Amino acid sequence: MFYGAMKLSIGGSLKLAFRPWVEGLENIPDEGPAILASNHLSFSDSFFLPAVLTRKITFIAKQEYFTSPGVKGKLTAAFFKGVGQLPVDRSGARGAGEAAIKSGIEVLERGELFGIYPEGTRSPDGRLYRGKPGGLARVALATGAPVIPVAMIDTEKVQPPGKVLPKMIRPGIRIGKPLDFSRYHGMDGDRFILRSVTDEVMYEIMKLSGQEYVDIYATAAKRQIADEAKRKAEEEKAAKAAGLGKADEAEQDPEA
C-alpha cells in the first residue's frame, strides 16, 4: 500500500514534470518473476523506471540509506522502503554480494520483479562499463527467471552527479526482449558461464542504449579518474610553488 502511494505521488510527479518516453513496455510480463537489468547513469534511475511500470519492482540499496540517524535519516529510510528498496551492507564485498543475491532470489521466488544494475555503480562518464558476473548471472541461473535488458537514456543529464537541482530534460527508457538462460541451469558455479551470461546481457543493454562500451569495471574507471585528478592537482600545486619560488628569486636579485 505504501509502495502504491509513493508510486502515485512521486511517480506521478516525475511523469508530469519530465514526461519520460518509454519503448518496449510490452516486454514486461503481466505476472511472474523477471529480472530487469539496467545500465546506471543517475541516482534518479531507480525512480524513473518504477514510475513507468505498472508492476512493483524491487532494487537493492546501500544500507546507509536505512540507518542514518536523526529525523532526516528516518524519513530517508521510510522513503527507500516505500519505493521498494532493500538494504544491503556493502562494508564487506563478499558479504554484500551474497546478501544481494539472497535478496534477489527471495524477491523472484515471490513472483515479483527484481531490478539490478550489472555495472555495480553509476557510470562516471556516461559510457557503459563491464558487468559484474557475481550478482545478475547467479540470480538468473538460481531462479530461472528471464532477464530483461533495460536502457536508461539521458537520466545523467536530468540529475548530474553532485547536483542537487534537476534539469528539465526529457529522459527515456528502452526495454528489450526477455533473455532466456535456462540452458545454463545448474551451472551457476562455473565462472565462465557467469561471465558469458553477463556479457550477453551487457551487449543487449549496449544495443538498446547506444552507449560506448568500455571493457573495464566502472569502479576501476572511477579510481583511474580520481587518481588522474589527484595527479593533476599535485602538478598544478608544484607548478604554482615553482612559480612563486622564481618570483621570490627575481625580487632578491636586482639584475634579474
Per-residue pLDDT of the chain (256 residues; tens, 9 = 90+): 556 666 666 677 888 889 999 999 999 999 999 999 999 998 889 889 988 999 999 987 766 666 777 766 676 666 666 666 777 765 555 555 787 888 899 999 999 999 999 998 899 999 999 999 888 999 999 999 999 999 999 999 987 766 777 788 899 999 999 999 999 988 988 999 999 999 999 999 999 999 999 999 999 999 998 898 899 988 888 888 877 666 566 666 655 5
H-assigned helices in the chain: 2-6, 12-18, 45-52, 64-67, 70-82, 93-109, 136-143, 155-158, 191-209, 218-252
**Model pLDDT, residue 111:** 97
Q: Where are the domains of the chain?
A: 2-215, 217-256
Third-level CATH fold of 2-215: Glycerol-3-phosphate (1)-acyltransferase (3.40.1130)
Predicted TM-score (pTM) above 0.85: no
Q: Which pLDDT value is given to residue 99?
A: 78
Cell of residue 79, nine digits: 522513503
